[in-house]
Amino acid sequence: MSLKRRQFLFLSSLGTLGTGVLGWTLTRQNNQVANIADSTVIAATPPQNELLLRFASVADTGTGAKGQYAVAEAMNFYHQRNPYDLVVLAGDNIYNDGEIEKIGAVFERPYANLLSQDVKFHACLGNHDIRTENGNPQIKYPGFNMQGRYYTFRRDAVQFFALDTNRNADWKNQVIWLEQELSRSDAPWKVVFGHDPFYSSGHYGVSQSLIKRFVPLFKKYNVQLYINGHDHHYERTSAIEGTTYLTTGSGAGVRPTGRSKWTEYSAERLAFAAYDVYPDRIEVNTMGTDKKIFDKGVIKFKSV
């Protein structure tokens, strides 16, 4: 092969190589630009593993007896490892008749460790609570953080709605109030709590009256979770028309329970539940007095 021919091939290969390098450089730069654009979009949306809020729930607590203290000790144990600063207290806060003079024995002493660390309890009224002055002393008690017989408050991405489910409740105005509050809420997560169960496999069973009053609103406004007590057991349902129903009424004592077609987990155990709220899910962890998690569940976020 002549020198000129070899020179031509060599220069041609350099040209091809240069084109390849240039193409690779431009592609890399374009990818970097695309990645920067993508990362900007991702940064605008909270990462799906970002913890937004952690809270706990317990109910039927107000005995001041051994069972309540055992659950409170488990709540302290969990708090030391997984800090939370909010507890939903779903009624029957003072046995047997809602006497506010018992508040030290049935609330302030059992939960002294949590209260000293600025954990806030938000309560609603149970059937035992209204036996003294229709529960008004409890509504006024600062430690229960109640704003009325039914009320709402927001924490981060979660809006909570407390109901009065007692037989003498102001049903007409309460239903109107709830729809108004749900309709104006822009919180991604909506959690309702009250004392009485809608769906239960325990002593009180299913409440058709509560289902008729509230389930259409829960469905319409995408309420993802309802928390209650009254039945003294633990039970977590599968999603029923988009809402998970969770009974945590074993905060001081237990009664027998069973299972229903919608039951994900039920247990006759002293317990409380903890909730880790993320952008796309709520993780439920339920702990017994042996300080071990015995139920884990996930409530998936579902937009309207």
Per-residue pLDDT tens for 105-147? Answer: 999 999 999 999 999 999 999 999 999 999 999 999 999 999 9
pLDDT of residue 166: 98
Distance CA 279, CA 180 (A): 24
Picking from 85, 57, 71, 63, the residue whose alpha carbon sits closest to that of residue 229 is 57
The string over 263-300, giving b where at least 16 C-beta atoms fall within 10 Å of a residue's C-beta and e elsewhere, is: bebbbebbbbbbbbbbbebbebbbbbbeeeeebebebe
Whole-structure pTM value: 0.85
DSSP string covering 27-93, please? HHHHHHHHHHHHHHHHHHS--TT---EEEEEE-S-TT-SHHHHHHHHHHHHHHHHS---EEEE-S--
Q: Could you tell me the CA-to-CA distances from 261 to 200, 209, 213, 229, 255 in Å, in that order?
A: 11, 20, 22, 20, 20
Taking a C-beta distance cutoff of 8 angstroms, is the pair 117, 79 a contact?
A: yes
Tokens 């036996």 sit at which residue?
Answer: 131
Angle at alpha carbon of residue 113, lines to 108 and 117, rounded to 5°: 105
Cis peptide before 168 (omega within 30 of 0): no
Residues of the chain with pLDDT under 50: 1-44
Distance CA 273, CA 278 (A): 16
Task: Say what the alpha-carbon torsion angle 224, 227, 232, 237 is, to the nearest 10 degrees.
Answer: 0
Q: Domain 53-300: which topology?
A: Purple Acid Phosphatase; chain A, domain 2 (3.60.21)
Q: Sheet with 189-193: list strands edge to edge.
A: 151-155, 158-162, 189-193, 225-228, 244-248, 234-237, 263-267
pLDDT of residue 48: 81
Q: Tell me the pLDDT of the chain averaged across its residues.
A: 89
pLDDT of residue 43: 38
pLDDT of residue 232: 98
Backbone angles phi, psi at 162, to 5 degrees: -95, 130
> Which amino acid makes up residue 24?
W
- What is the sign of the dihedral through the CA atoms of 263, 168, 174 and 91? negative
Task: Say what the alpha-carbon torsion angle 270, 146, 167, 263 is, to the nearest 10 degrees.
Answer: -40
Burial of 181 (0-12, 13-18, 19+ CB in 10 A): middle
How many angstroms from the chain centroid is the CA of residue 43?
25
Q: Kindly give the residue spans of alpha helices, DSSP state H, lying in the chain.
A: 3-44, 66-81, 103, 112-116, 136-140, 171-184, 208-220
Taking a C-beta distance cutoff of 8 angstroms, is the pair 74, 294 a contact?
A: no
pLDDT of residue 46: 58
